[in-house]
Amino acid sequence: MAEISSSNMVVETFKLTKIYQNRQIALNDVTLRLEPGCVLGLLGSNGAGKTTLLRLIIGLHRPTAGWAKVFGKFMTPNAAELRRRIGYIPTNPQFPRGMTPITYLDYMARLFGLPKDVRKPRLASLIRAVDLLRVSGDSIAGFSNGMTARLAVAASLINEPDLLIWDEPTHGLDPEARRSMLELIKTLSREKTLIVSSHNLSDIDEVCNHAAVLSHGQLIYCGSLQDLKGRMRRNHFELDLEGEQKAITKSTTAIRALPEFKVVTLKHRRLELYLQEEAVGAAALANVLMTLNDNKVTLVSIRSVGQQTEQAFLDLVEKEESRGFARIYQAEAA
């Protein structure tokens, strides 16, 4: 992220740490900065500390150590004015079952102190925007997951916040509702700063421009999504070939003999390659191309296999866990 002054940051944390009951370290020494207009995807497995981090940022928990600032001011449980500028959706949002979308949103708007002449038109506009107009007078108790998610979106926007913090907004949604939610995030990202926590890496890949990765309460990456992908080990390739089958088979045999590859398989005219961990991808593929050329086999296409964001995330976590003992030892030595 580009360097800008601390006072202009939307979110800033410094050595943020949360320990529950003096024994469970949910978050450990997390420092990050979020610029205006950033759409940050918060990644991590269950128990990684994602929800704890979000709750500390919005002041629902007190940190054990470190601090969080929002819009340049320290966030505390009493910082009501800061929270007025934040729209929050928790995982699996719950609503009073006896209320309707209209009565609930009106109630939320009153809590934010919105006058009636502002409250009523905004409420009507949001109900239309999230496609709940038909059921605006129905009891929330009978709502599907998708309808509940759309109501949560409307509630998070009722105060016209500058920062949106949504924890697993696509959790439990069917494909159609998920697609609708992702399109809404794209629209909002044009004018809002967002933090979106998700287990679904393809969602993050589609709507975010930055990523933060948590593993066992530690921040192991924070930066652009493009840079995260750039760290990915590209060791699995598929090549589509054209030529005589005899020549393709001969080429495959020669490629299997190359030391850079641990697995080489041929299915009809598609060659699948897995590189050794220490192999240099460009040099290994250059040897493959020369082998194909020597046998008069034409390369039709070549591609790196796998979802890039998912693979980059898994590689990052794997590397961090593999050096876990070394990191602990170094910390104790220091």
Do 214 and 316 sit in the same domain of this protein? no
Per-residue pLDDT of the chain (334 residues; tens, 9 = 90+): 444 556 689 999 999 999 998 888 899 999 999 999 999 999 888 888 999 999 999 999 999 999 999 999 999 988 988 999 999 999 889 999 889 999 999 999 999 889 999 999 999 999 998 989 999 999 999 999 889 999 999 999 999 999 999 999 988 888 888 898 999 999 999 999 999 998 778 888 889 999 998 888 999 889 888 887 766 556 788 899 999 999 999 999 999 999 888 899 998 889 999 888 776 777 888 999 999 999 999 999 988 765 556 666 766 776 666 655 444 434 444 3
Q: What distance, in Å, lies between the first and last C-alpha atoms of the chain?
A: 30
- 188, 214, 230 - which closes a domain: 230
- 230, 256, 276 - which closes a domain: 230
Structural domain harbouring 298? 231-334
Residue 1 domain flag: no
User: What local confidence, expressed as pLDDT, does residue 331 receive?
Assistant: 43
Do 320 and 308 sit in the same domain of this protein? yes
Do 103 and 17 sit in the same domain of this protein? yes
pTM of the model: 0.72
What type of residue is 145? N
Do 217 and 133 sit in the same domain of this protein? yes
Which residues partner with 298 through β-bridges?
A: 242
CATH number, residue 293:
3.30.70.100
165 exposure class (CB count in 10 Å sphere: 0-12, 13-18, 19+): buried
Our count of domains for the chain comes to 2
Do 141 and 280 sit in the same domain of this protein? no
**64 closest CA partner among 113, 26, 111:** 26
Do 262 and 113 sit in the same domain of this protein? no
d(CA 163, CA 114) in angstroms, rounded, equals 18
User: What local confidence, expressed as pLDDT, does residue 101 receive?
Assistant: 95
User: What local confidence, expressed as pLDDT, does residue 8 receive?
Assistant: 83
Do 137 and 275 sit in the same domain of this protein? no
239, 302 contact by CB (below 8 A): yes
User: What local confidence, expressed as pLDDT, does residue 268 receive?
Assistant: 84
Do 294 and 161 sit in the same domain of this protein? no
Do 50 and 161 sit in the same domain of this protein? yes
- 184, 210, 230 - which closes a domain: 230
User: CB within 8 A of 333, min separation 6: which ones?
Assistant: none
CATH number, residue 43:
3.40.50.300
Which residues partner with 241 through β-bridges?
A: 299
Residue 299 domain flag: yes
Residue 194 domain flag: yes
* Helix-helix angle 281-294:245-256, to 10 degrees: 140
User: What local confidence, expressed as pLDDT, does residue 88 receive?
Assistant: 95
User: What local confidence, expressed as pLDDT, does residue 126 receive?
Assistant: 93
d(CA 98, CA 101) in angstroms, rounded, equals 10
Residue 29 domain flag: yes
Do 182 and 140 sit in the same domain of this protein? yes
Torsion of CA 78, 34, 25, 89, to 10 degrees: 60
In the block, residue with structure tokens 């393709």:
248
Do 112 and 43 sit in the same domain of this protein? yes
What type of residue is 47? G
Do 33 and 89 sit in the same domain of this protein? yes
d(CA 161, CA 30) in angstroms, rounded, equals 25
